[in-house]
A and B are shown apart, each in its own frame.
Chain A
Amino acid sequence: MHLRDVMDLLGGEAAWGLDLLDGIPVVACFAADLMSDVLAFAVPGALLLTGLVSIQAAHAADVAELAGIVFVAGKRPAPPVLDLARENGTPLLVTPLSLYEACGRLHAAGLPPGVRA
């Protein structure tokens, strides 16, 4: 599965990185609003689903080497977050779905949890 498939499954759109979506495979997902959880438990290459649209979400994705971020519940990242994602090459998706429903759809589509053992 690639990021474009994720976008389609979630009825979402790209806030940044539309051109990258076909080239980035997604093999696992991690969902959290606490970035310390992301830093502690997400595996490299996981896709992050979160309701946190602060700049720290984009920093966490870069530091933890994540595949990209899906912002849920229709939340949109502000320009500084978009700028940082562009600088780091981190694709950003937005979906109107809740965190619960977005996770449910991706799990049902076969994406496993990207949690460190």
Chain B
Amino acid sequence: MSEAAPEILYSERWTIRGGDFDHGGEVAAAVKVILRQFGLPATEIRRLSIANFEAEMNVVMHADEGELLLEVLPDRARITLADRGRGIPDLGLAMQEGWSTATPEMRQRGFGAGLGLPNIRKNSDEFAIESTVGSGTTLRYAVRFAI
């Protein structure tokens, strides 16, 4: 017998444009507002917001476009971020702290330290990444909270 799908209390999607540094961070900020409205614990909101900001900036820096889906469940907030872009050839390297393919312009913007994906994993309780070179990358991560 299959398990019943968990109840989704809220879901919303945002589009993130590659190269749009001027607006990089706005989606993470919008998600944070919603998480606060749900009255989630501040520590978990901070963790997920950090993960979202890193993930959003990854799309801005490395992809053509991405779509971030927020789903709030009774015991967790879940993010799926699928981007259209060049993908990541070596996920093992990309997950290592300090590994970066950022350009000098990205570093001038304060990113590209090679901490993005490790930061996302560190600030989430569930984390999965799939990438196809020449097609794009999909991140799935979630933060759990006490009910």
Contacts and interface: CB of A to CB of B under 8 A. Distances in A.
Looking at chain A's contact residues, the main secondary structure is helix
A39 interface: yes
Given A54-B21, A56-B24, A80-B22, A63 B109 contact: no
A60 interface: yes
Contacts of B57: 35, 56
Interface residues of A, number: 23
A37 B42 CA distance: 21
A80 B128 CA distance: 34
Contact of B32 (A34, A58, A63): A63
A45 B52 CA distance: 20
A57 B53 CA distance: 11
Q: How large is the interface on B (under 10, 10 to 19, 20 to 34, 35 or more residues)?
A: 20 to 34
A36 B29 contact: no
A60 B68 CA distance: 19
Interface string A36-70: 11011000100000101011111110111100000
Contacts of B32: 62-63
A33 interface: yes
Nearest to A38: B110
B99 interface: no
B13 interface: no
B137 interface: no
Interface string A7-19: 0000000000000
A60 B53 contact: yes
Given A34-B107, A59-B28, A62-B32, A39 B22 contact: no
Interface of A: 33-37, 39-40, 44, 50, 52, 54-60, 62-65, 80, 88
